[in-house]
Structure 1
Amino acid sequence: MRPRTPNRALIGLRTELGLSQEQYAELVGAEVRSVRGWETGEVTCPQARHLARLYRLHGVNHPEQLGFLPRRRAGSAATVGHTDPSEADVLRRDILGLAAAAAFTNAVAAPVARLLAPWQHTRTPAVGAADVARVQQTNQTFYDVDFLIGGGALRPDVLLEQFRKAAGLLHGTFAQDSTREELYSAVAHLGSTVGFMLFDQGQHLDARKVYLASLQVAQNASDMWPLRSIVLSELARQCLHLGEYTDALELLHIAHGGDDEITPTAKAMLHAVRARVHAGRGDVAATDRFAGLAEEEFGHSKPVDDPSWITWFDRAELDGEIGHAYYALALGRKQRATQAADRLSRAVARHGPDQARSKALALTKLSKVRMVQREPGAAEDGANIALQSLDLYERLQSPRVREDLLSLRPLLRPHRHLPVLAELDARLVLVGRG
């Protein structure tokens, strides 16, 4: 047996942040025993979701920069019925295969089947228009809360239970086929919202279960392809967040299958997310290409033609998405920093009071871009911008915003002698302990 070699690089990075193993574990969404395993060398490379958070926290792009061995790519997607790996492992490794099966076949993965099961110990419900309206109202309420406060406003068990209750209606009896199709659409849209709120909380496995269930339900909805496009795009965003770039691109490729049935606004959103994925991979040319396609499609947008599920994607969101893509290049490749700052500044200026989370995320990324521009006064400017994001965060319940803010700390290290950066660092320490 090869003797374990302590990961001194990771130990050094953690201690530089002044964090205990317990605090560090909470910050990257891992268990304390996992952090111990990384540092002792027992684990030579973390799982993708932890690795992605470590990258953001320390501003690096490769496992070797954290003292780990290169991460091996998981094998190709297994079939839905495969039971050897644990349920969690399948959801992590085989999301592309599971998504394709959920969208295009009748095969139902075990975790999805439980979400879509009939209500127990109750009579088969008679479902009418009023039931559809209640599901739609629940979705609208969650949607508004998510944008205004963040996904953490509601506990995961509450979100999952509301989705289960709505999905239970699918097993009811319907007087009209049109009511059945409307209910399938309403439940799938609710799943899209619930999945995104769970994603915002960092509840990635539960989010994936709900997304897969929504794809399954969408097969019987009147707006099947638009639903597939929005759910697959959100699943791709989650993969992007976790550093699973290949899966993200494949999911977006599938989502474009509905191009004939979605509006230019929705197409612009898909192109913008693809720009972000390519930026995460460090592909400057592809990032520029898809940012341009997003702009081109958005130029054809007619808000009056957009369905309600895409109305959130306005000019501010487009600037934020493209700015986010260029931000990744600015930090990872030291390119497109000017474009990133310009786009993110425009997004910040355009975001309204009901887009507080989007504005906070844009502010945090803009602050990072300013800090790496190495211009006179850039570090102080970046710190002042980050303080604005912190002020917004105090009114939000979004673990994703918190994680993004805490990833600023490594960038502050060279400038902590400056008063405004010392103030920012002190406030971030409190956020990390909160």
Structure 2
Amino acid sequence: MHDALATWHMGRVIYAYRTHPYHGNPLAQDTVARWLGLSQSQLSRLEVGIAPEQLSKLIHWAEALKIPGELLWFKLPPRNVDTLDEVNRHGFLRAAATVTLVPGTLLELISTLRSTPVPATVGQEEIEEIRTAAKQISSWDAADGRGLVREAVLAQLRYAVRLLDANATPRDKAELRSAVGFLSHTAGFMAFDRYDHEDARAMFELAQGCAEECGDWNLRAKVLSSLARQSIWTGDLKDGLKSAEEAFDRSDRLTATERAMLHTTKARALAKLGRVQAALTEIGQADEEFAHCRPEIDPAWMKYYDLAQHSGDTGHALFDLAIGGHFASEAQSRLTAAVNGHSDAYLRSRAISGIKLSSLVMAVGDPQEAASIATHALKDAKHLRSHRAADDLRDLHRLASQRIELPEVAQLTDRIKGLVAV
């Protein structure tokens, strides 16, 4: 409950309440929906969609669940607790959220705090602070992706953008734009992972603008790759392919690792478009480039791209071909290497590759083996706040539901329903 309340997302709070072990068995969506004055489908969308912001609705739902005001991120109007049922629900939520969050009264107090003033002149110290913030926040996001991390990076980004108007030497001004672009890309990918697609695109475009203005071809390639991945994920395959191809401009200035990354991005788009041979060609070129990687010369934002990441990215591209009857064994081998190679520092990547591997085996292999693979992936996924991972879990649930006569698979579908609304 504390984790859910910390996201400032009422849908997640409701889901955490509804599925809390305190109740014994999860409360049905239609039951809780009636309490909130919603339909079951409306509650389902609320739990997995963008965080609602309309205060009147937030107050109504918080009052319906009897959430103590001191645990909320907004103020409730005064009310009395009357019935025994209300007392019990109120007591549960107070106990479940063992750490008290910032109450409305404290929000009023901190609203008077002044923003950090922007220095008249920016130099290497400020530039390094932005780079350090981007690296640290990126590592937090890769391992978890919680709402508070996103708020932290947005605050950092707002301040960093204000620094662009300060005085600096031409060299420092170029490095400052590159650092701000790095931070903006980090924020953009976090927004993409949470399906805040408009915010993600705006931040990617800011990052691209910074990269192009200071002539940072490496950063530009990374941003365009992420724009391509977002377009591919949302189904705009041609636009995704266009962004990936555009990223190859001045590829002679990119490292082998970056070129490998771009080839895998193109392969994903081509595989989803059903262009089998073209996708295989890109994967082959990605493998060739990766064989010549020199991590010591890669920019900071490419440090994540190791053998596990390369195996996962190419495995994801092959997944779409494997579902269509091509190269299932190779896709399984690469996704397995990704799962085994990712450390806890890249929990999200490991979970997503594990879910994809289970889905592949469920679709074209042994469903019982798929259920066993999923057991490990779900252990990772339960710690995430990734909407991409949640959608992959729904795909796995859909595939598993076709073999529900097997006890292991039936148990898997139940466990998935405990994590996401399906």
Same fold (TM over 0.5): yes
Measured at CA, do residues 27 and 270 of structure 1 come closer, stay the same or move farther in structure 2, by a change above 3 Å? farther
The alignment status of 1:263 with 2:258, answered yes or no, reads no
Q: Report if aligned partners of 1:124, 1:171 keep a CA contact under 8 Å in 2.
A: no
Identify which of 136, 140, 143 aligns with 2:138. Answer: 143
Quote how far apart the aligned CAs of 1:26 are. 4.8
- In structure 1, the partner of 2:383 is 395
- In structure 2, the partner of 1:384 is 372
- In structure 1, the partner of 2:158 is 164
Q: What is the distance in 1 between the residues matched to 2:47 and 2:364?
A: 26
Q: What is the distance in 2 between the residues matched to 1:324 and 1:157?
A: 30
Measured at CA, do residues 31 and 185 of structure 1 come closer, stay the same or move farther in structure 2, by a change above 3 Å? closer
- In structure 1, the partner of 2:45 is 25
Identify which of 310, 313, 328 aligns with 1:337. Answer: 328
The alignment status of 1:228 with 2:213, answered yes or no, reads no
Which has the bigger relative contact order, CA under 8 A and spacing at least 6?
A: 1
Deviation string for 1:62-96 (max 9, x for gaps)? xxxxxxxxxxxxxxxxxxxxxxxxxxxxxxxxxxx
Q: What is the distance in 2 between the residues matched to 1:122 and 1:315?
A: 43
Q: Report if aligned partners of 2:382, 2:419 keep a CA contact under 8 Å in 1.
A: no
Measured at CA, do residues 27 and 321 of structure 1 come closer, stay the same or move farther in structure 2, by a change above 3 Å? farther
Q: What is the distance in 1 between the residues matched to 2:183 and 2:117?
A: 23
The alignment status of 1:215 with 2:208, answered yes or no, reads yes
The worse-fitting range, judged by mean Cα deviation, of 230-239 and 20-29 is 20-29
Measured at CA, do residues 140 and 215 of structure 1 come closer, stay the same or move farther in structure 2, by a change above 3 Å? same
Deviation string for 1:147-181 (max 9, x for gaps)? 2213x34365543332121011000112x222211
Measured at CA, do residues 410 and 129 of structure 1 come closer, stay the same or move farther in structure 2, by a change above 3 Å? same
Q: What is the distance in 2 between the residues matched to 1:366 and 1:433?
A: 21
Identify which of 354, 361, 373 aligns with 1:363. Answer: 354
Quote how far apart the aligned CAs of 1:335 are. 2.1
One-letter code of the match for 1:137? Answer: T
Equivalent positions of 1:18-417 (< 5 A) are: 20-22=40-42, 24-26=44-46, 29=49, 125-150=120-145, 152-154=146-148, 156-174=150-168, 176-221=169-214, 224-331=216-323, 333-374=324-365, 378-417=366-405
Query: Cα RMSD between the aligned structures?
Result: 2.5
Q: What is the distance in 1 between the residues matched to 2:335 and 2:286?
A: 16
Q: Report if aligned partners of 1:329, 1:336 keep a CA contact under 8 Å in 2.
A: yes
- In structure 2, the partner of 1:66 is none
Deviation string for 1:117-146 (max 9, x for gaps)? xx9996773212221121112111111101
Measured at CA, do residues 390 and 123 of structure 1 come closer, stay the same or move farther in structure 2, by a change above 3 Å? closer
Q: Report if aligned partners of 2:256, 2:292 keep a CA contact under 8 Å in 1.
A: yes
Measured at CA, do residues 393 and 410 of structure 1 come closer, stay the same or move farther in structure 2, by a change above 3 Å? same
Q: Report if aligned partners of 1:322, 1:343 keep a CA contact under 8 Å in 2.
A: yes
Quote how far apart the aligned CAs of 1:417 are. 2.2
Measured at CA, do residues 355 and 132 of structure 1 come closer, stay the same or move farther in structure 2, by a change above 3 Å? same
The worse-fitting range, judged by mean Cα deviation, of 244-253 and 336-345 is 336-345
Q: What is the distance in 2 between the residues matched to 1:309 and 1:286?
A: 28
Deviation string for 1:323-356 (max 9, x for gaps)? 101111222x232211111111111121122111
Q: Report if aligned partners of 1:145, 1:153 keep a CA contact under 8 Å in 2.
A: no
Q: What is the distance in 2 between the residues matched to 1:433 and 1:161?
A: 31
Larger radius of gyration: 2
One-letter code of the match for 1:134? Answer: E
For normalisation by structure 1, the TM-score amounts to 0.70
Deviation string for 1:302-321 (max 9, x for gaps)? 22222222121111111111
Q: Report if aligned partners of 2:143, 2:346 keep a CA contact under 8 Å in 1.
A: yes
Q: Secondary structure at the match of 2:353?
A: helix
Q: What is the distance in 2 between the residues matched to 1:252 and 1:311?
A: 20
Residues matched between the structures, number: 324
Structure 2: stretches of 5+ with no match in the other structure: 1-38, 53-113
Q: What is the distance in 1 between the residues matched to 2:118 and 2:179?
A: 22
Q: What is the distance in 1 between the residues matched to 2:344 and 2:118?
A: 45
Q: What is the distance in 1 between the residues matched to 2:372 and 2:282?
A: 31
Q: Report if aligned partners of 1:23, 1:432 keep a CA contact under 8 Å in 2.
A: no
Measured at CA, do residues 366 and 26 of structure 1 come closer, stay the same or move farther in structure 2, by a change above 3 Å? farther
Q: What is the distance in 1 between the residues matched to 2:150 and 2:50?
A: 18
